Structure 1
């Protein structure tokens, strides 16, 4: 059995978790665009104030900070700061051949922590709540990295 095939149940677990996280990143970008269009605000670049079919009457205040849009943008940035490390170490983790139960715990645990973090961010929970979910997710990624180091060095 090859580690990176769908004959490997650990790879299947990674593939599902990775696909969910890629959909999360891409979906958050679309959510930001939706919020910009809905509020007609939250633009970030001066050239965005040029008249176009989607923005026929641009106004300078469209460049002002808009929390409705910026909250989604911050969520997206947070995903981009965290999910790529998961994708990278998760794939190497699969190659290191962890037990299935451990792979499920760490891979799906990260997905659950990121989704909980997103829910906390979306509902404007305080920093401690968001940081708790971030911490849980980061500990899962760190555990995978340590497993990989152990497998590589032993």
Structure 2
């Protein structure tokens, strides 16, 4: 039984795997954009982290809140998204409800985008950022527990 589930779970024809792959790509592109966004903010504010980066602009190495917010939002992605990508891939192997799994994957992606938006783009006061982070954390935790229960049996 487990072999059949694994074979179905990773099949490129599995509609749930296709949803997973699409939203993985969205999350990876989001993380890549954050690197570019950090650089854009550094040039916009003439705020550079290393002395060699200041040669063309003749400024000192400094830190600004605008750059730090983008950088910290990116770091938060680096800490959370890879864990979700692994956990959600294993979750697909448990043969979950298509509707539930799709909803969780989409909600996680929306939560991560919202987290970045309220942290680094429009800067909405708390608890907006905490709620966006908590939504993603709870989804990953739910999937991890479901994985444990499925593979424990």
TM over 0.5: yes
The answer as to 2:34 corresponding to 1:28 is yes
**Equivalent in 53, 62, 65 of residue 64 of structure 1:** 62
In 1, are the aligned partners of 2:46 and 2:59 still within 8 Å (CA)?
no
What residue in structure 2 maps to residue 2 of structure 1? 8
TM-score (norm 2): 0.88
**What's the CA shift for 1:127?**
2.8
Q: Secondary structure at the match of 2:49?
A: coil
What residue in structure 1 maps to residue 3 of structure 2? none
Partner Cα distance (2:43, 2:63) in 1:
15
Q: Provide the aligned C-alpha RMSD in A.
A: 1.5
What residue in structure 2 maps to residue 125 of structure 1? 124
What residue in structure 2 maps to residue 134 of structure 1? 133
Gaps (5+ residues) in structure 2?
Answer: 1-6
Gaps (5+ residues) in structure 1?
Answer: none
In 2, are the aligned partners of 1:17 and 1:111 still within 8 Å (CA)?
yes
TM-score (norm 1): 0.87
**Equivalent in 92, 108, 111 of residue 109 of structure 2:** 111
In 1, are the aligned partners of 2:31 and 2:77 still within 8 Å (CA)?
yes
